[in-house]
Structure 1
Amino acid sequence: MNSKTLVVIALVSFLFILPSSAQVKIRKFCTVSYRYQSLKSPDIDYGQSRKYNPLKDSTFVHKLEQVEYMTNFIQVMNYLTGLGWNYEGNISTTESNNLEVKILFSREFYPAELTEGK
């Protein structure tokens, strides 16, 4: 084999070894909060604000917002895991005799699924 052929084979092999940036996923988190007085009406926070939404897919965002209408803790857990979110843990806090439980979930997204604010 001549040296040009070896160089071409080496370059092609090297390109397959490099990780593709299109396959790198970004982990995002959300919390579902329950307050002692309203254990049947959770609040979900997935990093949204009025001007900024981290997810491009409005259908997926609508599905997340449906959690706030659910009245059963297990229903919320099953629903979010069905959407691909993973349970990470929970935190309980007490403030002025008001108990609040926050349940943390995570999910990996491709960069193309997220808005510019990544």
Structure 2
Amino acid sequence: MEKKVVGLLLSMMILSLLDGTSKASQINDITCAQAGQLVLPCVPFLQGIGSEQPSTSCCSGAKSVVEGASSTQNRRDLCQCLKKVSSLITINPDRAKQLPKLCNVNLPFDLDPKIDCNS
């Protein structure tokens, strides 16, 4: 029960941050806040809480976000958005690197909280 309460509070904090930092820019019709909502189910997996596998809703959201960011600028904007959020929560770097493979999401780079979004 305590983990659910912590997860709910963390989710609310992330969504409020995303809402405040989304600006008016869009990422192929997906705002920063919408992208955050789509990948929110991935937070427990990325933190190393619970299952060794990401949930179906996590993988579905990750695929939707990756498909929505089709241009270089879209990917940079999305990277900055998610990097900002990842700096506020503790993410297991090994789990972040595993996520694309486990969700069958094709990324030309490793997910890493320290990634240079401009490269």
Same fold (TM over 0.5): no
More strand by share: 1
TM-score, normalising length: structure 1? 0.26
Q: Between the two structures, name the one with larger relative contact order (CA 8 Å, sep ≥ 6).
A: 1
TM-score, normalising length: structure 2? 0.26
More helix by share: 2
Structure number with bigger Rg: 1
